[in-house]
Amino acid sequence: MEPFTTLTGLVAPLDRLNVDTDQIIPKQFLKTIKRTGLREGLFYDWRRQKDGSQDPTFFLNQPRYQQASLLLARDNFGCGSSREHAPWALLDQGFRCILAPSYADIFYNNCFQNGMLPVVLTGPEIQALFEGVTAHEGYRLMVDLAAQRVTTPEGTVYHFEIDPFRKDCLYRGLDAIGPWWETILFPVAWLWRPTLFFALLIFCGAAYLLIIFNWSYSDGDRVGYLQKFSRKGWICKTQEGELAMTTVPGVAPLLWDFSVRDEAVGKKLDGQMGKRVVLHYKEFRYLPTTCFGETTYFVDRVDVLD
């Protein structure tokens, strides 16, 4: 949506009360969901006479208002059905701002959703503007959204009120959802910087490892005969062992694989091959790599029984 900051443009007058959305854009033009091409239907019934020819007295058919970007209207503008095609048609005609004493609520809201500023001025102020437009061809106004004021060619300034949230959205070219998306996406955009991103990635990785190596899933002791212990790996050398835990004659032993991170524990295990030992371990799950060990069981203490 195009931002609205300031607008200086030609003013077109529509001197009618209670202009409803059926008159702004008749029902036969509501079949499309496109926002373009609707200018042909804008005030369709008023722009034409009974024989179908253009009515030269209607303001949109007069050359002096062809490039107008501000529409001057009367009370209760945009009443009737809640069709969003009404502001679409006005925008397609080139109007970015409407000035009136009052609007129908739904139409007023739809204007902001589509990047159009509906300015509310008092009845006497609107009347003064109508008189100025009628008396001077090429009558132009300047609308300053930030300052919330309308300035006439004579230097007269009219102030208007607007909801701060709607003002901010219109000023930045956002619809009502836009600020929420900005709130969500701003941290992502801020973090998506190469140096910061990789630093954050390293920090998160270190924090993850710190957590999983300090909070074990389980811990306990296993008793059996140490029958294998070696150092393995192409790049990451890890210490891996195997404990035979079943000692009933005629029954195949139950083998338990384990890993060792502590070099002191590894040196102690080197000299205990074939002996009966008690191994105290901690289980660490969800390790991101096998560089720490090929199993989830890490032995941190050895007690020799034989």
CATH code, domain with 22 = 3.20.19.10
User: How sure is the predictor about 207, in pLDDT bands with cuts at 50, 70 and 90?
Assistant: confident
> Does residue 9 surpass a pLDDT of 60?
yes
Average pLDDT over residues 266-287: 91
| Number of folded domains that form the chain | 2
Long-range contacts of 145-153 (CB under 8 A, 24+ apart): 145/4, 145/5, 145/6, 145/117, 145/170, 145/171, 146/5, 146/6, 146/171, 150/99, 150/119, 150/121
User: Which of 120, 147, 176 is where one domain is finished?
Assistant: 176
Buried b (16+ CB within 10 A) or exposed e, 5-39: eebebbbbbbeeeebbbebbbbeebbeeeeeeebb
pLDDT of residue 187: 57
> Does residue 194 surpass a pLDDT of 90?
no
* % the chain with pLDDT above 90: 63
Do 159 and 246 belong together in one domain? no
Q: 192 lies in a domain?
A: no
User: How sure is the predictor about 176, in pLDDT bands with cuts at 50, 70 and 90?
Assistant: low
Q: Residue 211 — φ and ψ, nearest 5°? A: -70, -50
User: Which of 176, 201, 233 is where one domain is finished?
Assistant: 176
> Does residue 145 surpass a pLDDT of 60?
yes
Q: Considering the entire predicted model, what is its pTM?
A: 0.60
| Domain region containing 270 | 218-304
Q: 87 lies in a domain?
A: yes
